[in-house]
A and B are shown apart, each in its own frame.
Chain A
Amino acid sequence: MSTLASAYTPSTTGHPVRQVLARRPELFTLMLLVALCAFVAAANPDFLRLATLFDLARASVVIGLFALGVFVILAAGGIDVSFTAIAALCMYGVTKGVVEFAPGLPLPVVFTLSIAIGLGLGLVNGFLVHHLRVPSLIVTIGTQYTFRGLLLTFIGTIWITTLPPQMDDFGKVALLTTTSSQGATIILPLFVLILPAVAVLTWWILRRTLLGRAIFAVGGSPAVAERLGYDLRSIHLFIFGYAGALAGLAGIIHACSNRQANPFDLVGSEIDVIAAVVLGGARITGGTGTVVGVVLGTLLVVVINNVLIMAGVPSTWQRVVVGAFILIAGAFMVNRRRA
């Protein structure tokens, strides 16, 4: 017994703080987030006003839903860059359909429709990845162009500035209200609750179901997972379908939140989302990461993109900051592996 008890100790050595961080990289994300918030708050105490926090929460929802979808795919060793195109198609297609054909369609049906279209497009991704055996990056670059092209060619290019009333109202339902420093009323919209709800669902699927562990198994080694009896086809269909459904949900929320539907919106923010996931401690090579990390990574990116400007950092510098953080986090992850 003595031989093995001593021989098993994992090779991580060094300072206890390092050891904890090596096991829980999302703590590192939390540290970055706290440091950043402290910096902004010190530079401009307005940051701590409820109004700012409400804005941050509102801005986190869409990017957070995207990030959770990407994370599920990344956990299985894949990548997706088509989710913004899916979201744009769902958002614009559904909004336009409601405006033109069914102005009185109840809100839950609108949401379900958008999610279902997203799911369908995601399944197309999953099907192609599985059956063509082409890397998911290539497949989703292809489908990103295709979905976007279909949207602009067949559905429309005209900005919808007046939403159907049920959608418009949904964006305005308040969970809480406050007043900004200028005296305007700022609301915390009810829909911000969707992000924590989906985060909990994603966490539950990944940690508590066989499917979740199978996703990580595939991220560890697809060949071994297949050999051990995991059904790769179901896993591929699920992860891309799930990410697609979340993109559909995010798209329709985006429209309700902005009270308009712009077909040219959303596409282009993929890198922000992937950055959020990676900053949350998930390795781009797959098989690792946590939902908590993804949520923290999302908050980090949202804070950088929205409030750095309050600390007097010019908005052109935001990208530099995101880039620097990714490099710091990346260097840290590499060291973690060597530790």
Chain B
Amino acid sequence: MDHIVEKTRSRADGAGVAPFLAVKDIHKRFGGVHALRGVSVTITPGQVYHLLGENGCGKSTLIKILSGVHRPDEGVIELAGREHRSLSAIEALEAGVETVYQDLSLLPNLSVAENVGLSQQLVRAHGRLATVLDRGLLADTARRALSAVNLPTSEDFLSTAVGDLPLAIRQLVAIARAIAVKARLVIMDEPTTSLTRREVDNLIDVVRSLQQDGVAVLFVTHKLDECYQIGGEAIIFRDGRCVAQGPMSSFSKEELSRLMTGRVVDGARYRQAKPAGATVLRATGLTSGERLREASFSLAAGEILGITGLLDSGRNELARVLAGVQRSTAGSIEIDGAAARIESPRDAQAHGVAYVPEDRLTEGLFLDKPIETNLVALVLDRLRGAFGGVDRKRARMLGARFVADLKIATPDLDRAVSALSGGNQQRVVIGRALSNQPRILVLHGPTVGVDVGSKDSIYRVVQSLAEDGMAVVIVSDDLPELLQNCDRILVLRAGRVVSDLPADTADEDAILKVMVATDDAVAHAGEAP
């Protein structure tokens, strides 16, 4: 199996050091899908690697082979000098391979401390469960790892059930688990999707110090800026093959996009200036708990409104309040000039508001059910046939249309959603929200975890929806995304709307300044790039 390597550039360092891990000519098939087609990768201690590629190109599959979740169909794995046909989860952990999975793989009912510290105990016991817990060690390990990722270490936090935490914190807890023990290779599958700059910066520091300790780090991400900032080796996948490898700095962004997608992707502004239509939504003094305080704004038909801010700015709460997922404690929402009570997702749907939640990989999908069922789940009543049953043909047509529009990579609609790659699962959620033909679409981080090429297709869909008069709200911390797509950008800070900028003249720096300005400017100084 000779794979085509478009280019392999000279390695920056690491030459001469014995590799920690090498996979050779790995193949993996899922039914008819040939997810990995002869991949060879070598991991040297102390190196940072970025595994880049489009959604569904096999990144997570490779990672799951390295961490002992999947067994490869062909190929060998050389780990710390020993050859294996496949690894078990315990073997990988014992050899020092720690993984942050794309779906985080946290145990929602266990406490933060247990999620972070139990793996260490399991490995120390060599997987033997009949072992008394070392609770002192568990707490110490958890505290150390949590403070490394800047999470609180109070008793209260340690004993909180992970399922009660917001997504960004869960992501940090998963990272803490991976760095809790002295690993030799830390793998992170899209670890920063819901983190803001400050957490990302901190994570980058963590990676640097791991690297100094001789730990290898394998990153998977779609955020190319972060890869450049960290530096190291780029490994580029396309369709289950490794198509290029070399120092990150030797590739330009355009080159990377071309290698990943096989075509040229430009980063131009999608939004053409458009006269705003009639106001469809007006929010006045929206307040919810401590985080969202008296936010007011309006939204017109055919308008795309961006909302951004730091993690604690209230942007997430605002999105959830609009969608009826979280209740407001004060303030009002008017839709088409009439007061609208939105207290549940059902109310929101009744008012024509559709919501794509931020946490799409763990919320909102029926993972074991076919793609089609997921896509049409919200509109079953409209697909009723003559005898009250679901009209299979129309359901199929609707499903097929979204698969095509959103470029969901799947051979057929009957596949379970769990068989899709992470990025493709996200598109299913977007498709489902659109199936309801909403008048107002609230997208919470619409392209989190989506590759460069497919971001483009999602943006195009959103733009054409707005063309047709839909009012769209994009809540995101991806500033280029907002600048490319929106008419206006609202910046939230401490729960209030502090700025309302036209997107065609604003720039990233200006927005960042507003996001972090004021009283605690000093504390937030690290935020600006």
Contacts and interface: CB of A to CB of B under 8 A. Distances in A.
Interface stretch (B4-12, B124-132, B403-411, B465-473): B124-132
B293 to A, nearest CB: 13
Contact of B133 (A213, A224, A288): A213
A231 B152 CA distance: 31
A12 B166 CA distance: 12
Interface stretch (B87-95, B183-191, B441-449, B456-464): B87-95
A6 B314 CA distance: 11
Interface string B154-165: 000100110011
B376 to A, nearest CB: 26
A210 B110 contact: no
Interface string B81-124: 00000001110010000000100011111100010001101110
Nearest to B289: A13
Contacts of A288: 109
A210 B133 contact: yes
B311 A4 contact: yes
Nearest to B91: A229
A10 B163 CA distance: 9
Contacts of A7: 166, 168-169, 311-312
Interface of chain B, helix or strand or loop or mixed? loop
Nearest to B64: A227
B419 interface: no
Contacts of A224: 105-107
Contacts of B107: 216-217, 220-221, 224-225, 228
Contacts of A6: 290-291, 312
Given A3-B196, A7-B166, A231 B69 contact: no
A233 to B, nearest CB: 11
A208 B520 CA distance: 44
A221 B101 CA distance: 15
B300 to A, nearest CB: 31
Interface residues of B, number: 52
Contacts of B90: 229
B179 to A, nearest CB: 16
Q: Find the residue from A8, A216, A227, A230 having the highest chain B CB count within 10 A.
A: A8
B129 A4 contact: no
B108 A210 contact: no
B109 A220 contact: yes
A236 to B, nearest CB: 12
Given A3-B312, A11-B164, A230-B129, A217 B118 contact: yes
A316 interface: no
Contacts of A171: none
Given A210-B133, A228-B119, A216 B109 contact: yes
A226 to B, nearest CB: 7
A112 interface: no
A225 B166 CA distance: 21
B310 interface: yes
B199 interface: yes
Interface of chain A, helix or strand or loop or mixed? helix
Contacts of A5: 152
Interface string B136-176: 00000000000000111000010011001110110010000
A228 B160 CA distance: 20
A3 B129 contact: no
A5 B149 CA distance: 12
Contact of B110 (A208, A211, A216): A216
A214 interface: yes
Nearest to B367: A223
B520 A214 contact: no
Contact of A1 (B88, B130, B150, B164): B150
Contacts of A217: 107, 110, 118
Given A3-B198, A220-B109, A224-B107, A213 B169 contact: no
B523 interface: yes
Contacts of B520: 2
A231 B520 CA distance: 49
A219 B107 CA distance: 9
A235 interface: yes
Given A3-B311, A210-B133, A288-B109, A229 B114 contact: no
A317 B131 CA distance: 47
Nearest to A2: B523
Given A1-B150, A217-B110, A220-B108, A230 B132 contact: no
B326 to A, nearest CB: 8
A306 interface: no
Interface in A270-327: 287-288
B133 A229 contact: no
A146 interface: no
Nearest to A221: B107
Interface in B273-304: 289-291
Interface of B: 67-69, 88-90, 93, 101, 105-110, 114, 118-119, 121-123, 125, 127-133, 135, 150-152, 157, 160-161, 164-166, 168-169, 172, 196, 198-199, 289-291, 310-312, 520, 523
Interface of A: 1-8, 10-13, 208-214, 216-217, 219-221, 224-231, 234-235, 238, 287-288
9 contacts: A7-B169, A7-B311, A8-B151, A12-B164, A210-B125, A228-B122, A229-B68, A231-B127, A288-B109
Sorted nearest first, the 5 A-B pairs with minimum C-beta distance are A229-B89, A287-B109, A220-B107, A10-B164, A211-B129
